[in-house]
Chain A
Amino acid sequence: MTAPRWLTRALGLGALAFAAAAAIDGLWVMGPTAEQGDYSRLLVVHPPVATLAYVGFGITAIASILYLWPRTRRREWDLLAGASAEVGVVFCGLTLITGSIWGRPVWGVWWTWDARLTAEALLFALFLGYLALRRVPASDHVRARRCAIAALIACLDIPIDHYATSWWQTLHQGSSIDLLQPDKHLDTAHNVGLGLGFIALGLAFAWLVVHRYRVEQLEARYEHEALSIALEARHAEGRVEVPA
């Protein structure tokens, strides 16, 4: 279960090309909006990183279920869950940072204990805990099982986070576009910028997950290799040299 090298190269080059296009569109082509002025340019970055954090944690949840289900249990699902969770944490951290940078000029505060922001911060903390749990020593199966359960519990926060702006009165705005509500739309330049941002960061996300998954595989092999070397050394210590 590994991606061919040409595919990862294509993902990386595509991410760089679309990132350049998104930056040019977001910084120079898109105009300011009446409501948020120039700060609406952050639309190219903030919604894509927030969505991709959900995608990362979603992949972790699916891989965790596949590991827990006895018929589909394979070590690779656990490795994929770990790789995707770490990339998700990076994107979740970026969501909090870019949201804070957006909030300061638009709301007047860097941070507030608004339902959406609090749920997002909780999601970040839960998955940091998940990554810490993956470092706790145990046998492969015990660690994978306990991490899969922890991931599924942490994922319960995703719908709370996503629907926080609908369920509660929040400072955070609702979604910028809604296909079911035609009056809720962006102009063409903003739509193009948002699309380019999603493609660029989506490709970067895929590239990171593929490479992080390879590192997980190498780490797993290294753990087993290190253990066998250590056992060999202990056996050698225990052998009694009989003089001839």
Chain B
Amino acid sequence: MSYVYAGYGITFIVLVLYALRVLARGRALRRALPPDER
């Protein structure tokens, strides 16, 4: 079962980390842009 847990775990972790990266990039850009450009 360790291979199964690894498959599920890696998929979940990669997607969560990627989602957090996308959100962080969006927030950084919103902060960098002037208010009227958001």
Within 8 Å CB of B12, what residues of A?
A: 19, 23
Contact yes or no, B37 A221, CB < 8 A: yes
Asked whether A221 and B10 contact (CB < 8 A) given A42-B4, A90-B18, the answer is: no
Within 8 Å CB of B23, what residues of A?
A: 211
Interface hub of A26, A41, A105, A219 (most chain B Cβ within 10 A): A41
Is the CB of A101 closer than 8 A to any CB of chain B? yes
Is the CB of A204 closer than 8 A to any CB of chain B? yes
Contact yes or no, A225 B18, CB < 8 A: no
Contact yes or no, B15 A204, CB < 8 A: yes
Q: Count A interface residues, CB 8 Å.
A: 34
Dominant SS among interface residues on chain A: helix
Dominant SS among interface residues on chain B: helix
Contact yes or no, B22 A212, CB < 8 A: yes
Contact yes or no, B11 A49, CB < 8 A: yes
Within 8 Å CB of B3, what residues of A?
A: 39, 42, 101-102, 104-105
Is the CB of A3 closer than 8 A to any CB of chain B? no
Q: Count B interface residues, CB 8 Å.
A: 25
A184–B10 CA distance with the chains assembled, in angstroms: 29
Q: Which of A102, A208, A214, A218 sits near B18, CB closer than 8 Å?
A: A208
A interface with B by C-beta (< 8 Å): 19, 23, 26-27, 38-39, 41-42, 44-46, 49, 90, 93-94, 97-98, 101-102, 104-105, 201, 204, 207-208, 211-212, 214-215, 218-219, 221-222, 225
B interface with A by C-beta (< 8 Å): 1, 3-8, 10-12, 14-15, 18-19, 22-23, 25-26, 29-30, 32-34, 37-38
Sort A-B residue pairs by CB-CB distance and give the 7 closest, nearest first.
Answer: A218-B29, A101-B7, A215-B26, A41-B4, A98-B7, A42-B7, A211-B22
Q: Supply 10 further A-B pairs (C-beta < 8 A) apart from A214-B26, A218-B30.
A: A27-B4, A49-B11, A97-B7, A97-B11, A98-B10, A101-B6, A101-B7, A101-B10, A218-B33, A225-B37
